[in-house]
Amino acid sequence: MANTKDAYVKWKEQGLLDAKLKIISDYYSYNEARGLIYNLLGVSEATLARTIKINATQGKCERCGDVGEEVHHQIRLTLSNLGDTSISLDQKNLELLCRDCHNEEHGRFKKKEVLFDENGDFLG
């Protein structure tokens, strides 16, 4: 293939990308597959890690079984560990979650309980 990025787009448009990635990832170890696909297709390692996680979980949230939309890092990414591929890209550290489970994991959009004492005074 002359232009591997064009091949990536073509496979994706034709619905063949997931099948081709599965064949490669079944045949090779994760690290070999990651390197091979990265070199072959020129896609970022983060995109590849996300795609492999989605394929491995059949697109389902690993907590509730709904449609998985967001890949969560169990060990959260920081500026100091971003370059550590055992944290940023390792499948063992990634979890596919639906939006609700991911928001719950990060404590987003929760109603905060307002506490008052017996006199009605605000406690915080």
Q: Is residue 120 part of a domain?
A: no
pTM equals 0.58
One domain for residues 11 and 46: yes
One domain for residues 50 and 12: yes
The residue segments making up the domain with residue 95 are 58-109
One domain for residues 4 and 26: yes
Average of pLDDT values for 92-97? 96
pLDDT at 1: 36
Q: Is residue 24 part of a domain?
A: yes
Among the ranges given (44-58, 85-99, 109-123), the one the predictor scored with the smallest mean pLDDT: 109-123
For 1-26, write each residue's pLDDT tens digit.
345 556 667 777 777 767 776 677 67
Average of pLDDT values for 97-117? 84
Q: Is residue 118 part of a domain?
A: no
One domain for residues 49 and 2: yes
pLDDT at 36: 64
> Considering its fold, how many domains does the chain have in total?
2
Buried b (16+ CB within 10 A) or exposed e, 33-57: bbeebeeebebeeeebbbbbbbbeb
